[in-house]
Amino acid sequence: MRVAYFECFSGISGDMILGALLHSGISEDLLQRTVAALNIGAELRVSRVDRSGISATRIDVLVDGKSAEPQYEPAQSHNHHHSHANDHHHHDAGHSHASSNGEHHEHTHEHPHSRSLSVIREIISKAQLPQAARQTAIRAFELLGEAEAGIHNVPIESIHFHEVGAVDAIVDIVCAAVGCHALGVDEFICSPLNVGGGTVKCAHGEFPVPAPATLALLKGAPVYSSGVKAELVTPTGAALIRALDCRFSAFPAMNVESIGYGAGSRNPDGHANVLRISIGELMDVAQPTDTEGGHEEVTVLETTIDDLSPQVMGYVTERLLAEGALEVFIVPAQMKKNRPGSLLTVLCQETKAADMRAILFRETSTIGIRMRRERRDCLERTLVPTVTQWGLVRVKESRLNGTITNFAPEYEDCRCIAEVNSVPLKQVQQESIAAYLAQKQPSPSSDAAADKKLASTKSHVA
């Protein structure tokens, strides 16, 4: 299973996610086209910066050539207000309060330059975006709105995003959604979140970090404070973590393929204000996959079925693979009474056999399953990260006695790139192969060294 792991030792925000995605290999052109598709007068400025000795990618959202980041007052020693380490947005919301006579009065902040959730939802819906990324972006804004509405006890449509802050938030959230889906991972995992400390200036005064909306979004998530006096997790960052359905964990056992560092806007002394993303394949520590070649023992489960809908059969196949089956395949079979049926075969590790059997009995109409152990001979397999014009594609190499016998780009990587960039799948596959072959070619310097060594050998023999 391919995963992306967010390390939030310095918190998380929308711009930090974007920087980390670009640094890890996501195409800048993809994000620039995404911003243009939103048609809200914004653009991205990309730069490389240093954060406590770590080289990271910094993303700024510009409107009319000026930064769209909300400006905050600098920290003052006498009032304990701390400027924020990362880009973020605290949104105006309707609120109610009790007057001296006990009556409740509703107040909504209707700014001439503000956008409601429905307006933002419409902007995202009209933009030409991959459907999955669009859904994630809209969900992130809905989560933000729900958090603010719950805090102020008002309808969600009473929440308004100030014009400049809204542009910054729309770009951060939509581009992060597009970039995350372009990774082609099966799951997003997040470390415990360092929320920071001190106070944050909200619409009606100062409030302890984390801000109310941020804390509402982080219900059930593992959080802590390292003592840094700054707001490290922003509402936008928290909403994206939730919209991506992140699972929380310590660093998982994985084969890391690419790494990215995204920078926050501030550069405090002694504190690397970056978000790190690691992308790669999860490792099954209990039962590692045989990538070194040779042979292994597998469990084979078989059943013949003649009374199950093809739709259910397809669903069962997906379930089996998702639960850890090595192979699942179906072939036509002639059943008793001349009825056409299907032979469903599942290959799995012995430790997974009970789970596979339970799925077959629960999800299909079978009343009997055959099981046996078989030897499976395997070639050595290696995933080679290959850089294309659209981003990274993994090419699987198969080797026999150290010699490459087969290679092919991973289908899911190519499919994801084709969908995100609106290019033919076959073109992505062909260019991935070409990039892989070019990557395998020896460099000119190594060719020259080989020629020099050969000439020296001939001279010595002469």
Structure tokens at 333: 């079979």
What per-residue confidence (pLDDT) applies to 304? 93
**Same domain for 188 and 310?**
no
| C-alpha span between 330 and 345 (Å, rounded) | 6
**Same domain for 142 and 56?**
yes
Q: Calculate the average pLDDT of the chain.
A: 82
Split at pLDDT 50, 70, 90, the class of 65 is confident
> Are the C-beta atoms of residues 168 and 61 closer than 8 Å to each other?
yes
What per-residue confidence (pLDDT) applies to 203? 65
**β partners of residue 378:** 294
Minimum mean pLDDT range among 96-110, 269-283, 320-334, 411-425: 96-110
**Same domain for 37 and 180?**
yes
| Mean pLDDT, residues 176-204 | 89
Entry field: residues in the chain: 462
Q: pLDDT tens for residues 96-154?
A: 333 333 333 333 334 445 678 888 999 999 999 999 999 999 999 999 888 888 888 88
What per-residue confidence (pLDDT) applies to 305? 93
Minimum mean pLDDT range among 218-222, 437-441, 442-446, 449-453: 449-453
**Same domain for 203 and 88?**
yes
What per-residue confidence (pLDDT) applies to 399? 87
Domain end residue (candidates: 282, 305, 324):
282
**Same domain for 278 and 193?**
yes
The reply to whether 121 falls in a domain is yes
What per-residue confidence (pLDDT) applies to 263? 95
> How many percent of the chain have pLDDT more than 70?
81
**Same domain for 64 and 29?**
yes
Domain end residue (candidates: 282, 312, 330):
282
What per-residue confidence (pLDDT) applies to 271? 83
**Same domain for 319 and 265?**
no
Task: Read off the CATH number of the domain in which 408 is found.
Answer: 3.10.20.300
| C-alpha span between 309 and 9 (Å, rounded) | 49
pLDDT higher than 90, residue 450: no
> Are the C-beta atoms of residues 178 and 133 closer than 8 Å to each other?
yes
| C-alpha span between 372 and 115 (Å, rounded) | 62
What per-residue confidence (pLDDT) applies to 421? 82
Neighbours of 122 (CB within 10 A): 12
**Same domain for 238 and 311?**
no
pLDDT higher than 90, residue 19: yes
The reply to whether 103 falls in a domain is no
The reply to whether 49 falls in a domain is yes
Q: pLDDT tens for residues 201-239?
A: 776 678 898 988 899 999 989 898 888 888 999 999 999
The pTM score is 0.59
Structure tokens at 383: 């995933």
**Same domain for 168 and 264?**
yes
> Are the C-beta atoms of residues 147 and 233 closer than 8 Å to each other?
no
What per-residue confidence (pLDDT) applies to 132? 93
> Are the C-beta atoms of residues 3 and 280 closer than 8 Å to each other?
yes
Q: Into how many domains does the chain fold?
A: 3
Q: Which domain holds residue 358?
A: 292-368
What per-residue confidence (pLDDT) applies to 113? 53
What per-residue confidence (pLDDT) applies to 370? 95
The reply to whether 459 falls in a domain is no
**Same domain for 190 and 231?**
yes
> Are the C-beta atoms of residues 236 and 199 closer than 8 Å to each other?
no
Split at pLDDT 50, 70, 90, the class of 167 is confident
| C-alpha span between 400 and 308 (Å, rounded) | 41
> How many percent of the chain have pLDDT more than 90?
48
| Mean pLDDT, residues 47-73 | 80
The reply to whether 462 falls in a domain is no
**Same domain for 272 and 337?**
no
Provide CB contacts within 8 A for 93, sequence distance 6+: 109, 148, 149, 151, 152, 154, 158, 159, 160, 203
Structure tokens at 380: 């050595």
**Same domain for 114 and 173?**
yes
Where in 283-402 does DSSP place strands (E)? 292-305, 327-334, 340-348, 370-388, 391-400
What per-residue confidence (pLDDT) applies to 107? 34
Task: Read off the CATH number of the domain in which 364 is found.
Answer: 3.30.70.1380
What per-residue confidence (pLDDT) applies to 49? 95
The reply to whether 200 falls in a domain is yes
The reply to whether 460 falls in a domain is no
Q: pLDDT tens for residues 394-425?
A: 899 988 888 889 999 999 889 888 887 888 99
| C-alpha span between 138 and 218 (Å, rounded) | 18
What per-residue confidence (pLDDT) applies to 242? 95
What per-residue confidence (pLDDT) applies to 99? 32
| Residues 138-155: b if buried by 16+ CB within 10 A, e if exposed | bbbbbbbbbbbbebbebe
What per-residue confidence (pLDDT) applies to 150? 85
Distances (CA, A) of 448 to 366, 439, 441, 445: 65, 18, 13, 5
The reply to whether 199 falls in a domain is yes
Domain end residue (candidates: 231, 253, 282):
282
Structure tokens at 187: 């799951």
Which among 176, 185, 181 is positioned nearest to 394, based on CA atoms?
Answer: 185
